[in-house]
Structures are given as structure tokens and as C-alpha cells.
Chains A and B, each alone.
Chain A
Amino acid sequence: MLLVFGLPVPLEAQTITLGATTTTENSGLLGEILPQFAVATGLNVQVVVQGSGAILKLGETGDLDLLLVHDRIGEDRFMEAGWGELRRDVMASRFVIVGSAEDPARIRGLGDPVSALRQIAETGNFFISRGDESGTHAAELRLWEGAGLAPQIDQPSWYRQSGAGMGATLNIVAGLGAYALTDIATWLGFGNRAGLEIMVGGTDPRLAEPGLANPYGIILVNSVRHPHLDTDAARRFIDWLTGPEGRAAIAGFVVSGEHPFVPTGGGE
């Protein structure tokens, strides 16, 4: 077999492979908290970044030890099917609707995301969907459902699916002067806003309007289904992340002067 030795950082026994959503990686959250975990435990965490849907599938195939995702319905289905050994709440964030500063659909300041989407649909302005079965995509589809619309099925000309990560989607939104639903963490860390502004919602996760809440959970993949998994190390990560140290690390994470994540883990 082709085994290459001497390459930097091969996967070792004491390495945990964590699947995480683009929002947690692109915002810089994991880059800040994982080194703290490594210092506290001596364990190394490798991160594979995908949308929540893709991460849950990688959990089913046993290619990941831990899943940090934000698709509560998908997570529950995963647990019910027996793919997961354990699930815990980790933190809450929130979504906002962004669009170009000219705001042709006049949705700025609307308190209710559902009526904002309805107005975008009526005026026929571009809306860019992730279209990639990510947690953000799932949240967006729930909002359309609440508005009594199904553009992902009807395929009107103003509704476009990027099929890409949040950042790549925001690049398209900026290029077209369109609207989109984005998680606040990616938005705060995004470098290419090019005239885009928040239209609906604010930056504080604790004040999320109905439909714009964005809770994250962590799942331990079932080692009965996948005996090769090293669950001891993975459990230590869950305990740390939802314990006092992890919660403090999440609460202390700042992007552009804002705190996009609020810890929800721990049972007290």
C-alpha cells in the first residue's frame, strides 16, 4: 500500500477529527478555542469544514469522531437513527438577512423575517440561497415555509441557489447586489461586503427574532456502529466544550467587536 511517512502531522491515535460547519470555522471561532483545548488536554483536534448536511453524512460513514452542526431537525433524525452516541447543546447564534444598501425591496428595519422574504418575492429582487443542505439552508427553507412560499420548488427567476459555503455565497450576493440569509458569525468576519448591510435582525444572539435563532449542537458518533472511533478523547472534548472552560472560551470570542456566539452547554 501507498503509505507516506514523514509528512507533517499524520492522523494519530490522540487526534480527534471534528466535522464543523463553515460558520464556526470561517468566523474564526474554532481557531480561537481549539488551541485552548489543546493546551488544557494535550489532545489535537483536526477540523473538516462542510455544511451541516454533509457533516452528518460523514458521521454516518464513520469518517468523523465529532460533529458540530446547526440543524436541529437533522440532528434529531441522526440521533433517532442510532448514528450518534450522545448529543449536547453547545451554543446559540443567530441569522440575519443582508442585502445591498439601496434596498430595492424596502425591507430594512422590518422586525419579522417572514414578511421581509415575502416582500423580496413580491418585488422580484435577487435572493441567493445556499442550496447545499447546510444548517443555514435548512433555516432559510423553514422561513419560506412560514411565508407560505416554496421558491426552491417553483424556481422563480429571482431565486438563485449558489450550492456553496456561506462566504462564497456572500461573494455572489455582493456581486449581484442581492439579498440572502446569513449567520451572524460569518457576516461579522466577512471581508468582501462591498456595499452589503444587515437589513433584518441585529448582532446579539440573545435577541434573535423568531425564525432567526441558530442553535448549535455537538454529536458524538456512535462507536458501536464504528468501532474504530476513539470515543474517550472525543468525550473529553465534549465535556470541555460544554464545561466552564469551553463556555468561557465561546463567550469570550469576539468578531468586529461583537459576540456572535452565546454558550448554552452545561446542565446547571
Chain B
Amino acid sequence: MRSPAPILPLAFSRVTYIVGGERLFGEASFEIGPRQRTVILGPNGAGKSLLLRLAHGLIAPSNGQVLWRGGGDADTTQAMVFQRPVLLRRSVLANIEHALKLKGIGRIDRRSRARGALAMAGLTEMAERPARVLSGGEQQRLALARAWALEPQILFLDEPTASLDPSAIRSVETMIDGFHAAGVKIVMTTHDMGQAARVGDEIIFLHRGQLVEQTPADVFFKTPQSKEAKAFIAGDLLW
């Protein structure tokens, strides 16, 4: 099903992001490998969203390079889901078909892939509804279904459950598990330590634009290496 040529691993090589003379991210060099679910943690303003946007190509680094080392076509094999889902003023089904159309998928293929993605998200019965009357949780599931239809190798999620209630959070996490099971690399930011423990295989911990730790999740939560990470887990480090 998935594109045969892999794009991962993803490497940041001496990447910085500077706005108006102020360095908001970096300098950072690290690598993100395939399969494992990577969760990015850090207090507010640590640069979590910037890291996702630099990786996804929404913003260009001021210095350094973001490299896809796998050799596959990185342009067409990524997807991103935002904290507040961007839904078009169209029906639920048309939202997915629009994304597929931009990928150059033909009309008939579009319809069947969109239907399949809606079924995966449990939104089949809402296909013809205007997307923007859905509840917050349904909207985020639609955003995930849209990403699913794109058949990405890697999915970036920027605080996908930050404004959702517990049951909606659960269904979103279930869908993220579905992506993972299908072999999609997950890179996600969150504020929720419990969620990080549930979802993450690997933690990248950022503080003030710097990468402080990149460790397996169980190691991070049990024996954090840096004093910043210790303080963060203890709830003392707020910014």
C-alpha cells in the first residue's frame, strides 16, 4: 500500500530558526528514525511547534538543513494535523476529496479512498454534513481521516488533543494507534504528560529552543538525564 521508497530517517543538521535577530530554535542537530512514535515535550515557548513546522517544511530554517535521508519523495508522503483543525467550508467528504485532488488523485479513486478514510474515523454517517458543524472531537477525527487518506509515511501532530474532552482525546489516541499500526511514523507534540507516556516510544525534550534530551520514553520518565527534564517531570519547570 505505502510508497515503497522510504523517506525516513529525518535529520536536522545544525538547524536554527531566527526571527528579527532573536533565535527561537536551535542550533540543533539530531535524527528521527522510522517506526517509533516520537513525542516532543517541553514547557511553553520551548520550540515544539517550530520543530514540527521546520520538519514538515512549513517554515524554512535560517541556518542548517532539514534532510530526508531515506531517498523517497518527501513532498508527497507527509501529513500534518493541527491543534485547531483547518476544515474547509464544504461537506465532510469534500474535505477529504479536496486534499486528494491536490495530490493529483483521480476522481473515482478519490471517492473510494475518502470513503475508506471516513470509515476508519467512524465518520461515515456524517459524510454529507458541513464539516464545520461537527463537534470538536469529530472535527479532529476528520482532520486525521484526511491525513489517513493521503497515505503518508510520516504524520506530524501539533497538540492534537489540547482542546478536547477526555472521550474525544481517547478516540483521537485510538486513531493515532491505527496510524502507528499501519506503519506510519508519528511525530507529535503535547502538553499532557500522561499522553506522552501512553503514546510515546521516544521523547525529544526541548527547553528554550534547545534540544536537551532525546531518549526512549521509559528512560525519560524514570531516569531523566538533564536537570531541566527532572524539573519538568516534577512539574517545576513551567517555561
A contacts B directly (C-beta below 8 A):
no
Interface set of B (CB-CB < 8 Å, partner A): none
